[in-house]
Every structure is written in structure tokens, then in C-alpha cells.
Structure 1
Amino acid sequence: MESQTVEYKSDIPTKHKLFKAEIVAFLNTNNGTIFLGVDDDGTFLPEKVDQYKQWESWISDWIHSAFSVPVQKFVTLEVSAQNFAIHIKQGDKPPYYYKDGEGFNSKGIYIRNGSSKRRATDDEVRRMLKAQVANEFESELSNIQESLTFHYLQDKLLDNNIVFDPKGLRLQNVDNQYNNGALLLSDQSPRVTKIAVVDGLDMSADLLAKKTFSGSLIKQVDMTLEYISLLNDTKVSFTGAAARVENESYPSKAIREAVINAYAHRDYSLSADIKIEFFDDRLEIFSAGGLPDGLSVADIKEGISAQRNPNIIHVLDKINYIENFATGIRRILASYKGFHKEPMFIVTPNQFKVVLYNRNYALVDDDIQSWGNNKLKTNLSDAEQLELGFTVNQDHNLFDDSCVTELEKRLDSKDEKIIKLLRLNEEMSRKEIESYLEEAQTTVYNRLKRLIELKIINKRGQSRSTVYYMKANESK
């Protein structure tokens, strides 16, 4: 039966370009096989055997001279007494087309569509051309040569007992010229990472914090992972069996895989920055460029991979940031096993987005319903609460155990918002905090004073230079 990967032909048509178009369609789309000398059901036709020699001669000649480039490394023939098969691999630099005179032949660009071919649209041709540029960008010579430094990368290599060798790391050619991969890994990298923290479920809510990280891509990876770890709350609970259970909002393994994949596989020929957005219920990671080499989300879930930036991946592998075994997506999915929302992977021609869901967000409704029991729980020990069926929850990211009872009495949602702001922004002035709360100056001042009395936050400076910060950050 004919399919996306199988085509049956009884003969090569008189107009040879029609058959060349079949080969082109596979070169531009996916691996496949054309069976010659069979009927529409794939049944062998004995009367066609006498033509095998002529077919083999034609096709052998075509794969060297009939297409935009020689394609012998992608096309192989399998010929026997009762079988004539043309095995075609997807090419690594589409678009491919059959020649029709000299120069570019847009009419000769075909793609596979189900069990047949069709001519590629102008948009599809443009995407193929753009993908070709993306796949080659990293290895092209950098416009900046003399001023590049690699201090951050060198430190990482030394941590792994590796000497910085630009040629061995595939960052320089034989003439000692740096490529774009070197530029991206240098301290002068032109790309940045942007992170936004939103106090709600969409961009209409307040923006609690904005961060921009620059420098070597390796440095950006480290700073991004460190910042996300500050936002990744852990819910601690005790079960009826008195076992302590810690549940991160986002599995650390999933975060690490998603973040590093964003840097390793993005399209650096596009100027868009890596962007990360935190919402109450989810984390979204955006990287420029769709999937390389025509892969689909289903393909990557099955572990099929393609490398857009092999030089950068080579360096990441050297410093043990990746294993280079195409397991990243499957690890992300595995880390969410048992949770009711699976991570999402959204692909467009110009963007790849990973959505990780907050595993503790589903508990919010339960927390609200149980709030009325807090007065009762305050007077009970953990063991007594468990005996009565309560779940004992602690959040060590915000408060220590000594002030939980006092906080329940004296803190409201606006106070908690101040705490969250200071956790995200390290330090802030009163004016900056006021802009988020939409309250009178005196009210905000009293809130800050109370949080200082509770030893949750602290302040430094005088008058207009006063800033507030979390007690936990005092050593900084």
C-alpha cells in the first residue's frame, strides 16, 4: 500500500521529469522507497523485468547529473530478479529540484504529501532555504575575530580537566579563524536570554520581575538555571504514614533538559532571543526556529533526533551539560509521569516552545478550602493533625517554622506579594514596591515595617536610598 514512505510505479513515464519529481519529493521531505515494475498494489509485474537494465542506467546517470546537486549519497538502488527498489534518504540541504535548463528551477521543487507528491509552495521553499541557512550558520566564519575572549568557557573546561583548544572544540578552522559557534560561546556573544515572572495566568497580570542574562551561552545557561531554581518552590507534606514528601513545582530534571535544549538546538541565524516566562500555573520556554531536518513532535518523543548546532553540542557534551544521546524530550516526559498534565511541545516554522506545568498549582484550591481549619490546626501538633486527617504543609522557601503561626495571623495577600517580589528581585525601593501594590504610601510603609518586625525582610540605606531585601539574602 502506498504511503508517506512508499511509492509504486509500473514503469518510468515517457516524460522523465515526472519520475525525477518523485525522487525530489522524498529528498525534500522524508526517507522513502520507490518500487518500480509493480502495479498499484505493489504486485510484481514479470513483463517489466526486461527493462531493469535500462532503468538502472537512467537512474544511475540522473543521481549524478539530473538534480540541483549530485545525490548519490542519498539514493541507492536495490535490483534483483524480481525487485527494483530505489531507496531515498531525506537530503540534508533542501530544497532539491530536478534540472530544467540552467539555474534555479522552482517548478522542479516537490515534497511528499501522504501517498503522493505535490509541488512545494513559495512559503515552503522559503522555509527550506531558511533552514539551510540555520543549519550552516554555526560553522560559518564569524565577523568578529580579534576581540573574542573565552574566560567563562575556559573555566568550565578546566573544571572538567580539559585544556581550551579552539580547533579541537571545532571553534576554529585550519587558518585559525573563529566560526559563529565560537562567537556564541565567547564572552562577547550577541545573543541574550530574557526571563519574565508574571503574577497570574497571562500577560494581563502584573509583571513581578524581568531579567536579562548575557555573555557566553554557557554562562547564560548557568544563570538561567540558577534563577529558575529560586522560583521553583517545593511543597513539603507528611502523609498518614508519617513519611516526608517533597514535591517541586517543576521537576529539576525537566527544567534542566528543556533549558539546555533551548540553547543547543535553537536557530541562531534568527535574531530572536531565548525567552522564558513564569506564570502561576506553568513555565514557558521559547527558542527561535522550528525543528531541524523536517522532524515532528512525534519523532522527538520517540527519540529521533537531528543536530542543528553540532559544534555547540560538541562543547556542551565536553563539559558534561548534555549526554548527546537524544534523550532530553523523553526525560522531560518521564519526569512528569503520574501528573495529570503532560508537558507540551509547540512547533511553528520559526519557534519551538516547551510548556512545563506547575505540579503544585493543582493544590491551590485544596489549600483555600482548608484555610478555615487553620485556627484548629494551630493548636494541634503535627501528629495530632495527621491523626485527624489533616495534611501538614510547609513552605521553607518563604518562612521558617518559628513564624508560621504569627504569619497566619498577620499576613495577607499583599504582604505575600511583597515577599515574592523581594525573592525575585533581590532588593527593591519602597517606590518600586508601591508600583505593584496600588496602595497608599503609608500603607505600604506599614507593611514593610511589619515584615521587618517579623524578621522576614530587612532594609539598608537611608531616606531615598533605602532598599528592602529578604533576610535570607543578608549574606549577599
Structure 2
Amino acid sequence: MRLMLSDRERDGLAKRDEDNFFDRKSRRIQPAKLSRTLAAFGNTDGGELVVGIEDDGTWDGFASVEAANDLINVAATVVAPGYYEVDFLSHANESGVALLITVRRTPALCVSTTSDVYVRRGAASVLVRGEELESLKRVKGVVSFENQGLVFPVSEISNSEVSIEFCLSMVPTLEPERFLRKQGLINSEERPTVAGALLFHDEPQIHIPKAGVKIYRYKTDGVAERKYLDAVPETIEGSLYSQIFATVARTVEIVDAIPIMTGAGMKQIHYPPEALHEILTNAVLHRDYGINDDVHVRIFDNRVEVESPGRLPAHVTPKNILNERFARNGTIVRLINRFPNPPNMDVGEGLNTAFEAMAALRLQQPEITESADRVLVIIRHEPLASPAQMIMEYVREHGSIDNSIARRVTGIEQERTIRRYFEELVSSKELVRTGVARGTRYRLPETLRD
């Protein structure tokens, strides 16, 4: 696409600071060097690259669109189709065209034209190797730590209580070792895999340290400081199946004991149990077990924070997480779903269930953020605006509202309940009724209109 820039837009690109999401290159840049920046954007969080504006902000564009073909071909080589866009930028007072390449975070690993891997750190594209490269491959889903072999006797998982009980529950019943081999949980070198240990070892933390959950109770609605800790943090270990249910039960037990002051006196705090269950299950099943750390559950007076090791995998981001699917630990997710009363019963729909449960209680939606090697989910005990407030906000923005729109805006399905809110707003002279029957709408009184 060809875009004609205004003075403000041109100056914005010329003066914008280069950072994690933006870079500026001369049109004389070598294709190999350009490929580093494109690969770094694709491997990290995406970004924008302008070619044809010098570091000092001077416009020095390509003589024609065709003159940029070599660089466009580099983008097509480095970044998967659908994860980059190319635009040509012009300005009435500048000669030539600049090239804007927009890159999104990619599900696959992006490799430069020299077969190297880069990530973006601040304004630099940094070469990664060794363990850092392996970590990036796990984030991208190229490899999974769950498939790594561990050095301990196969009998520790084939003769464990977990595997025996699991195999007895299957139809038809299988011998544990035969089942484990069939599922690839014992590799060709006769070593149990990480997935096999986490699922079927009675105490997998013996071989995979920091593969548990730590629970903290802070008697504050502020920051997590030691002085607010209520007793020593608890550690929950064991196989993933038992770990999930024990974590959920203990978290609910602690939350249920938190009193809050209301207009009607002291009351217990309440989160939807299905929201806690799904978010905690998600943290345990989808974390990166290659990172030597536990899942951390911090319980405050006004919120619960669940922090799991590892970034969101592949192309999943905090913005698209409810619509996109990618299992970092595919074997773990698949096999734990075969346990009796599986914790991930609705595979792929866990977080959606959590969001819906919070909305049903009219609580704020969970917040999901991502850092360099962590995912944090915050479940706040803070109510949404009241239905009356939401109705009024809609009318102020759109001019009027009817019953069906109000039900959609507030999330309340009962027509009678919404009608009651309208009656109260009309009685208090906040709204006026116009029309009759199915044509009834509600507007602001003349005195309240702008």
C-alpha cells in the first residue's frame, strides 16, 4: 500500500526514538543486516521498521517502489507469510519513497539470512545462542522441555501409585510400563521424559526441582512485602494432577477466610471457584518447565495473583489469548485430560470459562500481562460498574438505549430485571421514556443534554 504522509506523520517517524518496537534504517542497508532486525522483531514482540529515513531524521527514500524489491524479498525470506506487511511512504516535499515493514510476533522461529537468531532488546537486535536460544525455541514451540529425558529408573514411574491407579481406571486396562512407552513417556534411551515424571511420578520434584506451586497470603491490598506475609509461604508438590487439585483447594480455603468490610458489616470475600480453578490449572499445565522456578500464587485482601514461569507460547499474546490456541506442553495437556475428573475438562476453553465466571458475578475481568520470562494473571475482587451506571454511560455516548441493548451492555439476560433498572432511572429523572411497546427507548431529559 502507498501512503501519503502529513508533515506531522513524517516528523513523527523522523524524531521517534528507536526502541523495542521501532527501528529506522538507511535505504543503503545491506540485506543481511536488515534481516537481523526483521528476525528480532518476529522473535520478540513485533515492531515497525522504516527504511529510507536516516538516523538523524533526514528523508532519503528509494527512487522507486521497484528499487526496494531486494529488501522486500528479505522480509519474505525471514518472516512467515501473514506476519508482516509492507507499505510505501511518500511526502509532498520529500523525494523518493520510504519503506515501512510491520512485523508481528511469529509462531515460528525467525532466522536471519546468515542463519542466526536474534531477539529485540531495547533499540538493539541481539544474537542469541546456547541456553538462551533453547529457551526461545521453547517459547516458540519449536521444542518442548516436556520431551527431555531424565536420568532415573523407569520403574519410578511405571510402579508409582499414580500410574497404577491411572491404568486401572482405563478401559481397557493396560500395564503401566506398556502405556508409558506407547505414549512416548519413556524415550529410546530408556529414560523417562519430563512429561512422564510430572504426570506419573509420585514425587516428580525429586528430579525436577521447582516444579511445584508456592502459595503466599499477604494481609494487605498493596504490594507483596515480607512484613505483610501471614505465616510461612506454603509449597504444594506431587504429580501435576494432585498438585492442581491441592492448589485450588488451598487457595479457595484461604480466600474464603478473608473478611471485607461492607455497608452491611464484615463479609467473606468471594471469587467464582471455576475462575480460580481454570486459571490455576492453566498456570500449572502451560508453564515452561525448563525454567527452574515454581508457580507463585499470591493472595491479597483484594486480589489473587498467579505467576507462572515462561512467556506465552508461539503467537499467543495477552490480547488474543482467549481466541488463540497453542499448547507448549502438548503431551501433558493431552494425557492429563484422560485422568478421571480431569482438571482441564474443557480443553482450550479454560480461560474463557474464567472470564465468563467473573462476568457472571459482575467482577472485573482477569488481567493478563507478560514479561521477559513470566506470565501474570491478576484476579481482582472489584465490581464492575452497576447496571444503572452502565446504562447511563451508554445513553450519554449514544443518545438513547432500549431493553435489548441494555441487556447486552450489562450482561443481564432477564428482561424484567432490566425493566426495573429503567423504572428506577425514570423515577429519579435520570432518563425519560419515549415510544411505546417494542419501540420504547430511553433518553436523557432535555435539562441533562449537552
Cα-to-partner distance string for 1:341-373 (whole Å, 9 max, x where unaligned): 33222322122222223479xxxxxxxxxxxxx
What amino acid is aligned across from residue 135 of structure 2 in structure 1? K
Task: Tell me what 2:343 maps to.
Answer: 321
Residue 204 of structure 2 corresponds to residue 173 of structure 1: no
Measure the CA separation in 1 of the matches of 2:37 and 2:219: 53
Task: Tell me what 1:398 maps to.
Answer: none
Measure the CA separation in 2 of the matches of 1:124 and 1:247: 51
What amino acid is aligned across from residue 136 of structure 2 in structure 1? A
Which of 121, 127, 138 is equivalent to 2:146? Answer: 138
Residue 157 of structure 2 corresponds to residue 151 of structure 1: no
Preserved CA contact (<8 Å) 1:167 1:174: no
What amino acid is aligned across from residue 356 of structure 1 in structure 2? I
- Closer, same or farther in 2 for the Cα pair 1:95/1:224, shift >3 Å? same
What amino acid is aligned across from residue 331 of structure 1 in structure 2? T
What amino acid is aligned across from residue 309 of structure 2 in structure 1? A
How do 1:71-470 and structure 2 match up within 5 A? Answer: 94=109, 96-99=111-114, 109=118, 119-121=124-126, 129-133=134-138, 135-149=143-157, 150-156=160-166, 158-159=168-169, 161=171, 163=174, 164=176, 165-174=179-188, 176-185=190-199, 186-190=201-205, 191-201=211-221, 203-205=226-228, 207-208=230-231, 210-233=233-256, 249-293=270-314, 295-300=316-321, 302-319=322-339, 320-323=342-345, 325-337=347-359, 339-358=362-381
Q: CA deviation at 1:234?
A: 9.4
Preserved CA contact (<8 Å) 1:248 1:359: no
Preserved CA contact (<8 Å) 2:43 2:110: yes
- Closer, same or farther in 2 for the Cα pair 1:48/1:274, shift >3 Å? closer
- Closer, same or farther in 2 for the Cα pair 1:218/1:75, shift >3 Å? same
What amino acid is aligned across from residue 350 of structure 1 in structure 2? D
Cα-to-partner distance string for 1:53-106 (whole Å, 9 max, x where unaligned): x999x879x95xxxxxxx7987999xxxxxxxx99996656462221xxx85xx
Q: CA deviation at 1:209?
A: 6.1
**RMSD (CA atoms):** 5.1
Q: Secondary structure at the residue paired with 2:314?
A: helix
TM-score, L = length of structure 2: 0.54
**Alignment: residue pair count:** 317
Q: Secondary structure at the residue paired with 1:284?
A: strand
- Closer, same or farther in 2 for the Cα pair 1:31/1:286, shift >3 Å? closer
Q: CA deviation at 1:295?
A: 3.4
Task: Tell me what 2:32 maps to.
Answer: 17
Q: Which shows bigger deviation, 149-158 or 186-195?
A: 149-158
Measure the CA separation in 2 of the matches of 1:276 and 1:172: 32
Q: Percent identity?
A: 17
What amino acid is aligned across from residue 187 of structure 1 in structure 2? D
Measure the CA separation in 1 of the matches of 2:312 and 2:150: 24
Cα-to-partner distance string for 1:125-149 (whole Å, 9 max, x where unaligned): 9866523256532111112244522
Measure the CA separation in 2 of the matches of 1:225 and 1:251: 12
What amino acid is aligned across from residue 312 of structure 2 in structure 1? L
Measure the CA separation in 2 of the matches of 1:194 and 1:183: 20
Preserved CA contact (<8 Å) 1:292 1:308: yes
Task: Tell me what 1:437 maps to.
Answer: none
Preserved CA contact (<8 Å) 1:250 1:359: no
Preserved CA contact (<8 Å) 1:303 1:327: no
What amino acid is aligned across from residue 204 of structure 2 in structure 1? S
Measure the CA separation in 1 of the matches of 2:34 and 2:124: 13
Measure the CA separation in 1 of the matches of 2:127 and 2:38: 20
Preserved CA contact (<8 Å) 1:291 1:347: yes
Measure the CA separation in 2 of the matches of 1:87 and 1:200: 43
Measure the CA separation in 2 of the matches of 1:274 and 1:14: 44
Preserved CA contact (<8 Å) 2:283 2:295: yes
Preserved CA contact (<8 Å) 1:25 1:110: yes
Greater C-alpha radius of gyration: 1
What amino acid is aligned across from residue 109 of structure 1 in structure 2? Y
Preserved CA contact (<8 Å) 2:215 2:296: yes
Task: Tell me what 1:8 maps to.
Answer: none
Q: CA deviation at 1:253?
A: 0.8
Preserved CA contact (<8 Å) 1:30 1:294: no
- Closer, same or farther in 2 for the Cα pair 1:73/1:356, shift >3 Å? closer
- Closer, same or farther in 2 for the Cα pair 1:342/1:128, shift >3 Å? farther
Q: CA deviation at 1:51?
A: 11
What amino acid is aligned across from residue 332 of structure 1 in structure 2? A
Q: Secondary structure at the residue paired with 2:291?
A: coil
Preserved CA contact (<8 Å) 2:241 2:343: no
Preserved CA contact (<8 Å) 2:138 2:313: no
Measure the CA separation in 1 of the matches of 2:190 and 2:128: 38
What amino acid is aligned across from residue 268 of structure 1 in structure 2? Y
Preserved CA contact (<8 Å) 1:74 1:90: no
Cα-to-partner distance string for 1:271-313 (whole Å, 9 max, x where unaligned): 111222323322222221222225321121x422322211211
Measure the CA separation in 2 of the matches of 1:55 and 1:270: 37
Q: Secondary structure at the residue paired with 2:275?
A: helix
Measure the CA separation in 1 of the matches of 2:39 and 2:68: 22
Measure the CA separation in 1 of the matches of 2:216 and 2:275: 19
Measure the CA separation in 1 of the matches of 2:302 and 2:67: 67
